[in-house]
Structure 1
Amino acid sequence: MGTTLRAVRALILLAGFYLLGFVMLGVLVAVDWAVAEGGVGSVTAKVWIVSALLAIPSCRACSRCARPRTNRRPAYS
């Protein structure tokens, strides 16, 4: 496999990771909206809590992968 194909594959995998995260967040928002339109207060609150518990780790994972590491050791020469 050439260098170009490896680079393209890496970009596709990286974009797929973020796309999967955004799709999951979109589905959570759609479910929250559908339940809120239903009008049952206790069920709406429970669904929102579960959605928040699922969305927070997803957002944290996306932000941690995008951040460069600052605590790397210096290279040995």
Structure 2
Amino acid sequence: LRNATASALITRTDTPQSFGKARMLVPELTRQYDEAFQQFDVLVMPTMPFVATTLTAADAPIEEYVHSALNMLANTA
């Protein structure tokens, strides 16, 4: 699974050579996933490139809830 990051970085460049390199990694990446699924039923991986924000306390003022909600608008596209 370590190759997943390398594969993602390679595919970010838009050249035929980069695409070819990424395609050549597919069998190895598939093998690594198959190996991981021999041991685990689920693989949990981050979907965002940063740590999740903390939840607003239940007794927090409404302003804090609004600030927290408006802070995440970029993630609603």
TM-score range, shorter chain: 0.3 to 0.5
- Which structure: greater helix fraction? 1
Q: TM-score, normalised on structure 1?
A: 0.38
Larger RCO of the pair (alpha carbons < 8 Å, separation 6+): 1
